[in-house]
């Protein structure tokens, strides 16, 4: 085969490939053109006209109905559940791990996985309609550790946010660098619930994380930032004498808000806060919690280093936070536990709490 024949063959293949691409593109536009669809929310209380073809989660957000989601629509958090009474199609494999048999009987679905292809009937809890969107001004950025930043946002003049200590907001990133679309992730509020015109977040840098890299590399004081909230049921129940609080890394955020909530409301609960970190450089807010410990005798702060370095000169608790929990909490009597951090740490701590007699009704957690 001579060179000219090879060139002709390559040209023919390229033309065929281009033609197929055009056909596929046309087919997708036709197949995905579902036209206008009606979303009947709560038996006719709200009738929404939307353009079909996108996820239920995103279309509800476009109508200012904000469904909780921590993963940005990737079906990894299981928070965005909505009852789809009609029009949702069959349960997808991506949903199955998050929808119990009881929830299936209630027609619960992950709204990030349900594509709107026609009219739907939905049931949405009324309290979700109180969730609002805010465009705030970033007024402070502080490096708490080498990979955790504190952001302080000021709400627009005349606006306030009502939240329970322990709840979270969804934080939106703008397009930046090679990222061409808006994205969002969930972050717990670390500031006091009594402070209604500002919000503080603690955001740890996650390798290849779209939103965390935006925060750590592209966001500057004075920028406008969009958030929605509040969300979540990780808040103080307080039906006990003592609160056992456990956190690691940026999981400190909601615990900090909870601690201040107890203090500011003058609640009688004793508090023990176990904070796990790897080395000294991973600890932060040490001075603040030590001062709280001095000012409020009912509060005890127990930082734990899993891998202290010789140069750390660490004289506190050494070992994983589970070791301190095992040694220092004797029983479940009169106690509730509040945990926030990585799934591995939380699973290990919850097992210890179960072994000590804590039942599930006395354990509240938020896995990051």
- Taking the domains of the chain in order of start, what are their residue ranges? 36-128, 131-231, 242-367
HSE at residue 181, side-chain half, CA atoms within 13 A, is 3
CB count, 10 Å around CB of 42? Answer: 14
Model's pTM, two decimal places?
A: 0.82
CA distances from 244 to 6, 211, 262 (A): 74, 31, 13
Angle at 147 between CA 348 and CA 155, to 5 degrees: 100
Reported as a single tens digit per residue, the pLDDT across 173-207 is 999 999 999 999 999 999 999 999 999 999 999 99
Over 78-128, what HEC string results?
CCCEEEEEECCCCCCCCCHHHCCHHHHHCCEEECCCCECCCCEEEECCHHH
Mean pLDDT, residues 149-171 taken together: 95
Mean pLDDT, residues 117-144 taken together: 93
Angle between helices 286-295 and 252-264 (to 10 degrees): 20
Identify the pLDDT of residue 302: 97
Residue 359: both structure tokens together: 């039942």
Q: Indicate if 131-231 has the same CATH topology as 36-128.
A: no
Q: Indicate the CATH number of 36-128 among 3.10.20.30, 3.40.50.12780, 3.30.365.10, 3.40.1640.10.
A: 3.10.20.30
Q: Looking at residue 222, what DSSP letter applies?
A: T
Average pLDDT value for the chain: 90
241 φ/ψ angles, rounded to the nearest 5 degrees:
-95, -35
Reported as a single tens digit per residue, the pLDDT across 89-124 is 999 999 999 999 999 999 999 999 999 999 999 999
Listed in sequence order, the residues at least 6 apart from 8 whose beta carbon sits closer than 8 Å to its beta carbon are none
- Give the closest residue to 252 by CA, choosing from 138, 136, 366: 366
> What's the CATH number for 242-367?
3.40.50.80
In whole angstroms, give the CA distance from residue 185 to residue 172.
7
HSE at residue 365, side-chain half, CA atoms within 13 A, is 22
The fraction of the chain above a pLDDT of 90, given in percent, is: 80
- Give the closest residue to 191 by CA, choosing from 150, 147, 226, 131: 150
**CATH superfamily placement of domain 131-231:** Translation factors (2.40.30.10)
In whole angstroms, give the CA distance from residue 133 to residue 123.
21
pLDDT level of residue 255 (50, 70, 90 thresholds): very high
pLDDT level of residue 34 (50, 70, 90 thresholds): confident
**Does residue 351 surpass a pLDDT of 80?**
yes
- Give the closest residue to 365 by CA, choosing from 345, 338, 342, 343: 338
């Amino acid at each position: 085969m001579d060179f000219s024949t090879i060139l002709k063959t390559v040209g023919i293949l390229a033309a065929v490939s281009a033609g197929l691409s055009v056909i596929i593109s046309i087919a997708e536009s036709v197949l995905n053109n579902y036209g206008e669809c009606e979303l009947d929310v709560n038996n006719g209380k709200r009738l929404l006209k939307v353009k079909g073809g996108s996820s239920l989660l995103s279309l509800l957000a476009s109508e200012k109905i904000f469904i909780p989601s921590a993963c940005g629509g990737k079906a990894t958090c299981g928070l965005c559940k909505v009852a789809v009474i009609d029009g949702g199609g069959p349960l997808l494999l991506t949903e199955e791990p998050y929808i119990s048999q009881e929830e299936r009987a209630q027609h619960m679905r992950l709204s990030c996985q349900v594509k709107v292809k026609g009219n739907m009937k939905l049931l949405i809890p009324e309290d979700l309609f109180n969730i609002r969107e805010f465009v705030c001004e970033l007024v402070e950025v502080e490096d708490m550790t080498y990979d955790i930043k504190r952001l302080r946002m000021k709400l627009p003049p005349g606006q306030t946010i009502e939240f329970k200590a322990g709840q979270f907001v969804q934080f939106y990133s703008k397009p930046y660098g090679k990222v061409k679309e808006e994205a969002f992730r969930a972050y717990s509020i670390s500031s006091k619930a009594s402070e209604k015109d500002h919000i503080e977040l603690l955001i740890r840098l996650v390798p290849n994380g779209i939103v965390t890299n935006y925060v750590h590399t592209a966001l500057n004081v004075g920028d406008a930032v969009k958030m929605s909230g509040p969300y979540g049921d990780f808040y103080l129940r307080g039906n006990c004498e003592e609160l056992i609080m456990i956190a690691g890394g940026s999981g400190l955020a909601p615990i900090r808000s909870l601690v201040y909530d107890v203090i500011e409301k003058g609640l009688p609960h004793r508090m023990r806060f176990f904070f796990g970190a790897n080395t000294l450089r991973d600890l932060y807010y040490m001075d603040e919690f030590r001062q709280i410990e001095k000012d409020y005798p009912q509060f005890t702060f127990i930082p734990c280093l899993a891998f202290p370095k010789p140069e750390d000169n660490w004289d506190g608790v050494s070992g994983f936070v589970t070791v301190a929990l095992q040694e220092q909490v004797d029983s479940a009597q009169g106690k509730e536990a509040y945990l926030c951090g990585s799934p591995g740490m939380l699973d290990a701590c919850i097992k210890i709490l179960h072994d000590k007699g804590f039942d599930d009704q006395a354990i509240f957690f938020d896995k990051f």
